[in-house]
Amino acid sequence: MLEDLRELWRYRDLVRSLVMRDLTVRYKNSVLGFFWSLANPLVQVATITIIYKYVLQIGIPNYSAYVLCAFLPWMFFQMSLSDAGESVARQYDLLRKVYFPREALAIASVFANLIHLLLAFGVFFVYLLWLGVSIQAGWLLLPVVILANLAFVMGLAFFVSALSVFYEDMTYLVGVSTSLFFYMCPVLYVTEQIRNKMIPQHWQPIIWEVYHWNPMAIFIEGYRQLLLPPFHAKNLNDLPIEPRYIVISVVLSVAVLIAGYAFFNAKKWQFAERP
């Protein structure tokens, strides 16, 4: 694995160039292209906000900010996995012709989405200031959450991109699983709502525990608590994330990253000769 990392470092320019390629192709060589690419999440968040606010009548101030804050990292997760799935499989001809560390393709597709996330967060900050949310010291912790989130997504991306080379229906499988996974992350709701009266008393602790073993849920909750004031709707008490869940999610993410990279490396020289 160390040898693989060293080789990857020698090819670091390749990763950077592939990221640049992904972004130029995505933004069509223009700054306007970046704002265009924000249109999709904005439209979705606007729709969600309208439905929750006016149809379901949940009177929460700045509800759109809470949704957007979770939606941007969610997009990062979802887009990274779908791009990573295609990254190696689509370059199949290239793999059969040229030597280079194959992981560069998977890494570049995640990094391109990371840059997109950072740019989108930049726009989000402007929106927050416009809403009147004041700058907080907690924002300085944001890079830590982003790094852990990156590790988790990258690890999964390694699995997905390697498996997609061998199995064409991986893309479909990943698409279905991520859309189910969406509901296991606090995007449309807040974590506090997991403790609701509909769930029988004795089930509550178990569900609460299991729910929090999902690193993506913790990260999304983390972004929210760092960026936005506590969510005081519906008389829910604001619950800070328990420290042990933070530790669990970071440990899990690093484990997924290492396992994913090891899996990818074990498979990568079979890519060019898949049956």
Partner 1 sequence: MSDAAIQLQDVSKRFRLAHHPVATLKGAVASFWKRRFEDLWALKSLSLEVPRGQTLAVVGRNGSGKSTLLGLIGRIYLPTAGHIEIHGRVAALLELGAGFHPDLTGEQNVLLNGVILGMRERDVRKSLDDIIHFAELEKFRDAPLRSYSAGMTMRLGFAVAVFTDPQILLIDEVLAVGDQAFQAKCLREIQRFQESGRTIVFVSHDLDTVRRVSGRAIWLHEGALRADGDPEAVVKEYLSATA
Question: Which residues are within 8 A (CB) of 274 and not within 5 positions of it... i.e. 6 or more apart?
Answer: 165, 166
In sequence order, what DSSP letters do the residues of 65-134 get, joined into one string?
Answer: HHHHHHHHHHHHHHHHHHHHHHHHHHTHHHHTT--S-THHHHHHHHHHHHHHHHHHHHHHHHHHHHHTPP
Q: Smallest gap, in angstroms, from Cβ of residue 180 to partner 1?
A: 17
Cβ closer to partner 1: 12 or 232? 12
Binding residues vs partner 1 (CB under 8 A):
11, 13-14, 16-18, 21, 24-25, 28, 91, 93-100, 163, 166-170, 173, 269, 272-275
Q: Smallest gap, in angstroms, from Cβ of residue 14 to partner 1?
A: 5
Residues 128, 73: contact at Cβ < 8 Å? no
Cβ closer to partner 1: 20 or 199? 20
Expressed in angstroms, the distance from the first to the final Cα of the chain is 26
Cβ closer to partner 1: 3 or 273? 273
Residues 218, 244: contact at Cβ < 8 Å? no
- In 3D space, the residue among 208, 199, 204 whose CA is nearest the CA of residue 241 turns out to be 208
Cβ closer to partner 1: 6 or 232? 6
Cβ closer to partner 1: 164 or 253? 164
Q: Smallest gap, in angstroms, from Cβ of residue 28 to partner 1?
A: 8
Q: Smallest gap, in angstroms, from Cβ of residue 89 to partner 1?
A: 10
Q: Smallest gap, in angstroms, from Cβ of residue 20 to partner 1?
A: 8
Cβ closer to partner 1: 28 or 234? 28
Q: Smallest gap, in angstroms, from Cβ of residue 264 to partner 1?
A: 15
Query: Taking each helix axis from N to C terminus, what angle separates 142-166 and 170-181, rounded to the nearest 10 degrees?
Result: 150
Q: What distance in Å separates the CA atoms of residue 174 and residue 178, rounded to the nearest whole number?
A: 6
